[in-house]
């Protein structure tokens, strides 16, 4: 049967790369992008595919159960790739309930809509839930997260993602829904909303504004280029074993302060500034509440069982990313106007 895939959150950072990959690579599939277009969703991310014959957009909030039912029946949806979420840890600290509403209730609404639409033939469809390595908590003594690491979420964001993962597994167990989950490390690349560390620093370096480093900048994250994550999602969707979980990561750990210094060095070169100019912008600020020390993914399972691995070296990906931001000033202007200004003032200047 020709697939008719509902991709949620397809106007966001990762979702837009997944939508573009699927629309372009699979002309026989219908790709329905469902997104509420919150502050993080932007149809400009999808310019390349908006006119494609196999692409449709639905502006719908996953909190609206009735609207979800209509989308499933109007488009005869056969499979789901669920990315829609509130995704920023700092926002989850100031407004945890928003994260419960979208990430937990929204995910359960989507599971219910799929279960209703696929009633009697649940074994013929796939519900793919895209999640995060943050559900595993924080690593303090070396080691890596593997698929069986016990959940230990530490922030309201990761607690809401952990809850959504549990609901997906509960629907697989209780109703025999075919599901698959992947948990990925930190993504970076084009279209990343500039509230997150890498695009925030790129934007601030460009504008000679302070670079806010939380605590001492010693926290460690594992970084993966967003298009490699989209390729991994394609791989898991087509080759993953239903009921399984796959960890996705870049085998690429960095301390925050080292990433900020790398961005400063590269941008001084690209902008023709004296070496050391941008580093002077580094400002150590109050630490994030409950800040997880280290995340590190062991992505051996997806590598060995499904044959996926990252394609880009980090410095190559960072060069592409900086160049994209320097060449897409309009995109940055659009997303940093309006409510972004209020968020930035409240978060960094109060
Ligand atoms: P994002 O914030 O850039 O995009 C989220 C998208 O979801 C936006 O387009 C937004 O409009 C949409 N959305 C939010 N609430 C919605 C709602 N109630 N109904 C419908 N749409 C809604 O997020 P992202 O960084 O692209 O992350 C996508 C997914 O991947 C999330 O589930 C996130 O937890 C997961 N993830 C992200 C990373 C990362 O490094 N960014 C890593 C691992 C997993
Ligand atoms: O690990 C996967 C997760 O990565 C995803 O599930 C989340 O959706 C995504 O936002 C990301 O979470 P992080 O909290 O790791 O990303 P963020 O870019 O917000 O922060 C990266 C690190 O940089 C973290 O240790 C906090 C720090 N930081 C962040 C900001 C925004 C700063 O030092 N200064 C900042 O201004």
Q: Is the CB of 250 under 6 A from ligand 1?
A: no
Q: From the CB of 187, is ligand 1 less than 6 Å away?
A: yes
Ligand 2 contact via 132 beta carbon (within 6 Å): yes
- Give the pLDDT of residue 263: 98
Determine the atom of ligand 1 nearest the C-alpha atom of 184: 43
Question: How far is ligand 2, taken at its centre, from the CA of residue 175, in Å?
Answer: 35
User: 134 CB under 6 A from ligand 2?
Assistant: yes
List, in sequence order, every beta strand (DSSP E) within the chain: 4-8, 30-35, 55-59, 79-82, 126-132, 179-184, 186-188, 211-214, 220-225, 245-248, 253-255, 282-285
Residue 205 makes CB contacts below 8 A (sequence gap 6+) with 211, 263, 264, 267, 278, 281
Protein residue with least CA distance to atom 21, ligand 2: 197
> In angstroms, rounded to a whole number, what is the distance separating the alpha carbons of residues 145 and 139?
8
Q: Is 15 in the pocket of ligand 1 (CB under 6 A)?
A: yes
Can you give the pLDDT at residue 141? 81
The closest residue, in CA terms, to atom 10 on ligand 1 is 41
Question: How many angstroms is it from 84 CA to the middle of ligand 1?
Answer: 5
Beta carbons within 8 Å of 332's beta carbon, 6+ residues apart: 194, 203, 325
Residue 1 pLDDT > 80: no
- Give pLDDT tens digits for 131-179: 999 999 999 888 999 999 999 999 999 999 999 999 999 999 999 999 9
Q: Which of 199, 102, 83, 216 is nearest to 157 (CA)?
A: 102
- The end-to-end CA distance of the chain, in Å, is 55
- For ligand 1, the distance from its centroid to the CA atom of residue 35, given in whole angstroms, is 10
| CATH superfamily of the domain spanning 3-191+223-253+291-313 | NAD(P)-binding Rossmann-like Domain (3.40.50.720)
| Of the candidates 347, 255, 343, 284, the residue with the CA atom closest to the CA atom of residue 38 | 343
**Ligand 1 pocket check for 14: Cβ under 6 Å:** yes
How many Å apart are CA 171 and CA 154, to the nearest integer? 24
Q: What is the pLDDT of residue 274?
A: 97
pLDDT in tens, 263-288: 999 999 999 999 999 999 999 999 99
Does residue 350 register a pLDDT over 80? Answer: no
Per-residue confidence (pLDDT) for residue 12, from 0 to 100? 98
Q: How far apart are CA 30 and CA 53, in angstroms?
A: 8
Q: List the beta bridge partners of residue 188.
A: 225
Pocket test for ligand 2, best of 83, 288, 343 (most atoms within 8 A of CB): 288
pTM: 0.98
Asked whether the beta carbons of 9 and 42 are under 8 A apart, the reply is no
Q: What is the pLDDT of residues 284-294, one digit of tens each?
A: 999 999 999 99
Residue range 39-58: mean pLDDT, rounded: 96
Distance between CA 21 and CA 146 in Å, rounded? 27
CA dihedral 32, 75, 28, 241 (to 10 degrees): 80
Mutate which of 38, 89, 321 to test ligand 2's pocket (most atoms within 8 Å of Cβ)?
89
91 lines ligand 2 (CB under 6 A): no
**Over residues 16-40, mean pLDDT:** 98
* Average per-residue pLDDT for the chain: 97
Q: Residue 87 and residue 66: Cα distance in Å, rounded?
A: 24
Ligand 1 atom 13: residue of nearest CA: 84
Q: Could you list the active site residues?
A: 133-134, 157
Would you state the pLDDT for residue 74?
Answer: 98
In the chain, helix, strand, coil percent, each to 5?
45, 15, 35
pLDDT score, position 140 = 87
pLDDT tens profile 200-227: 999 999 999 999 999 999 999 999 999 9
On whether the CB atoms of residues 303 and 309 are closer than 8 A, the answer is: yes
Q: What is the pLDDT of residues 83-134, one digit of tens each?
A: 999 999 999 999 999 999 999 999 999 999 999 999 999 999 999 999 999 9
Furthest-apart CA atoms within the chain: distance in Å: 66
Bridging pattern class, strands 253-255 and 220-225: antiparallel
Domain ranges across the chain: 3-191+223-253+291-313
Provide φ and ψ at 196, rounded to 5°.
Answer: -90, 155
Tell me the H-state helices in 240-283.
Answer: 256-271
Residues 175-197: pLDDT tens digits?
Answer: 999 999 999 999 999 999 999 99
User: How confident is the model over 302-344, as pLDDT tens digits?
Assistant: 999 999 999 999 999 999 999 999 999 999 999 998 888 889 9
Q: What gap in Å lies between CA 34 and CA 58, rounded to an integer?
A: 5
């Amino acid at each position: 049967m020709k697939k008719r895939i509902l991709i949620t959150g397809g106007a966001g950072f990762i979702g837009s790369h997944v939508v573009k990959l699927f629309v372009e690579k699979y002309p026989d599939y219908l790709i329905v992008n469902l997104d509420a277009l919150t502050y993080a969703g932007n149809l400009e991310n999808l310019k390349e595919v908006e006119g494609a014959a196999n692409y449709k957009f639905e502006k719908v909030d996953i909190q609206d159960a009735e609207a979800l039912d209509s989308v499933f029946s109007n488009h005869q949806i056969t499979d789901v790739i669920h990315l829609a979420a509130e995704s920023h840890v700092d926002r989850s600290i100031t407004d945890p309930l928003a994260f419960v509403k979208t990430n937990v209730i929204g995910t359960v609404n989507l599971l219910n809509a799929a279960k209703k639409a696929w009633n009697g033939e649940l074994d013929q469809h796939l519900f793919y839930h895209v999640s995060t390595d943050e559900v595993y908590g924080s690593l303090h003594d070396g080691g890596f997260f593997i698929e069986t690491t016990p959940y230990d979420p530490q922030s309201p964001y990761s607690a809401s993602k952990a809850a959504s993962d549990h609901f997906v597994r509960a629907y697989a167990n209780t109703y025999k829904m075919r599901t698959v989950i992947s948990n990925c490390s930190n993504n970076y690349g084009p279209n990343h909303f500039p509230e997150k560390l890498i695009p925030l620093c790129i934007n601030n370096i460009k504008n000679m504004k302070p670079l806010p480093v939380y605590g001492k900048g010693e926290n460690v994250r594992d970084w993966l280029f967003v298009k490699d994550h989209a390729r991994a999602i394609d791989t898991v969707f087509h080759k993953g074993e239903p009921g399984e979980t796959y960890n996705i990561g870049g085998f690429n750990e960095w301390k925050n302060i080292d990433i900020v210094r790398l961005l400063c060095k590269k941008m001084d070169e690209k902008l023709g500034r004296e070496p050391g100019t941008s580093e002077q912008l580094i400002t150590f600020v109050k630490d994030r509440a409950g800040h997880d020390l280290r995340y590190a993914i062991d992505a051996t399972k997806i590598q060995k069982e499904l044959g996926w691995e990252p394609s880009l070296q980090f410095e190559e990906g960072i060069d592409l990313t900086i160049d994209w931001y320097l060449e897409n000033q309009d995109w940055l202007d659009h997303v940093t106007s309006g409510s972004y200004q209020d968020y930035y003032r409240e978060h960094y200047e109060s």
